[in-house]
């Protein structure tokens, strides 16, 4: 049994989206609200951090370190988890540094995290330097990978599959759709579905990586999870479903399709998506319905991974 520190609000609810379903002309749309996991506005990383922080505490650590973009949801939730558990927190954030901290960055400061700024090319090097400096100062640091995407973090979504089964029993979706980036959430879902022998297509809408890169990453991590916690099978890249059709001009660059998805979810269902992850996944979902990839008689579960605080970042205010 993996060490775990429980602070997520689980199980997250599953809701029907009747107005969005009607507007798009089917299929039947549902949403799993991992934007409501409860830790500093919540998100999918909170599930992962229950196990990552659990491991840190089990090892006697007094400091956690991780890295991400200036508006990283993962970093914000890591800072919140550290504060909740009485741990120090150091975040290595990628430039450019905004003049006024807003959204996730504002919350990083409020939650008491120490921030180190660097270029993306030096990110991992600076993170390991910060780790070594903490050791030299007599601290007991614990390193959390980018996105919390290692077998321990991704196990949270292996376990989340069982949670979903308890909620939907025999009325399972044909597809699960969500934003995919560092691969941990998708790897856990894939390994969990394989373990429970579910006939569900698990589609990650990439927000930054190519299909080739992400399928390779997810298959490797899903196989690790299966060998450590499941039924010890290899999961090949060919079994991983990823779409990189919605990358647009790149990570964090909002486009009109993203804007439309954010507006439709808000105006029709009162649900907020973010400009980087769930907005892009929502745009992919809508396009796949309109182009007939998802059939009218199918049931789709959109797994909301959170990130709504990014709506209030300076770079997006007035753009949505």
Which amino acids are annotated catalytic?
72
Q: What are phi and psi of 307, to 5 degrees?
A: 95, 10
Note the helical H segments in the chain: 18-24, 45-58, 73-85, 103-110, 123-136, 151-168, 184-195, 211-229, 256-269, 278-290
- Residue 160 and residue 156: Cα distance in Å, rounded? 6
- Residue 308 and residue 315: Cα distance in Å, rounded? 14
Give the 3-state secondary structure of residue 152: helix
- Residue 13 and residue 11: Cα distance in Å, rounded? 6
Note the helical H segments in 59-183: 73-85, 103-110, 123-136, 151-168
Find out whether 301 and 31 touch, Cβ atoms under 8 Å.
yes
- Residue 37 and residue 133: Cα distance in Å, rounded? 33
Q: Are strands 28-33 and 14-16 parallel, antiparallel or unpaired?
A: antiparallel
Helix H or strand E encompassing 212:
helix 211-229
Structure tokens at 118: 């660097």
- Residue 139 and residue 159: Cα distance in Å, rounded? 32
Structure tokens at 135: 């050791």
């Amino acid at each position: 049994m993996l060490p775990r520190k429980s602070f997520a609000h689980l199980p997250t609810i599953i809701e029907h989206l009747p107005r969005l379903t009607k507007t798009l002309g089917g299929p039947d749309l549902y949403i799993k609200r991992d934007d409501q996991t409860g830790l500093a506005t919540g998100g999918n990383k909170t599930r992962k951090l229950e196990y990552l922080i659990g491991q840190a505490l089990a090892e006697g650590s007094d400091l956690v370190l991780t890295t991400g973009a200036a508006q990283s949801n993962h970093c914000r939730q890591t800072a919140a988890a550290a504060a909740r558990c009485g741990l120090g927190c150091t975040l290595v954030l990628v430039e450019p540094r905004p003049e006024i901290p807003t959204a996730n960055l504002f919350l990083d400061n409020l939650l008491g995290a120490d921030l180190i700024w660097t270029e993306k090319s030096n990110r991992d090097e600076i993170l390991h330097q910060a780790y070594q400096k903490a050791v030299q100062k007599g601290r007991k640091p614990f390193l959390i990978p980018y996105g919390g995407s290692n077998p321990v973090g991704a196990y949270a979504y292996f376990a989340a599959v069982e949670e979903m089964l308890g909620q939907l029993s025999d009325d399972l979706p044909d597809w699960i759709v969500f934003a995919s980036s560092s691969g941990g959430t998708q790897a856990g879902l894939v390994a969990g579905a394989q373990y429970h022998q579910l006939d569900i297509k698990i589609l990650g809408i990439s927000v930054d990586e190519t299909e080739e890169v992400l399928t390779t990453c997810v298959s490797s991590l899903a196989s690790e999870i299966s060998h450590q916690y499941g039924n010890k099978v290899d999961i090949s890249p060919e079994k991983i479903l990823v779409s990189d059709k919605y990358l647009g001009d790149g990570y964090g660059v909002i486009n009109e399709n993203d804007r439309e998805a954010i507006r439709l979810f808000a105006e029709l269902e009162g649900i907020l998506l973010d400009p980087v992850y769930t907005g892009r996944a929502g745009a992919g979902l809508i396009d796949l319905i309109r182009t007939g990839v998802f059939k009218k008689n199918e049931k789709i579960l959109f797994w909301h991974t959170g990130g709504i605080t990014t709506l209030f970042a300076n770079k997006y205010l007035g753009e949505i």
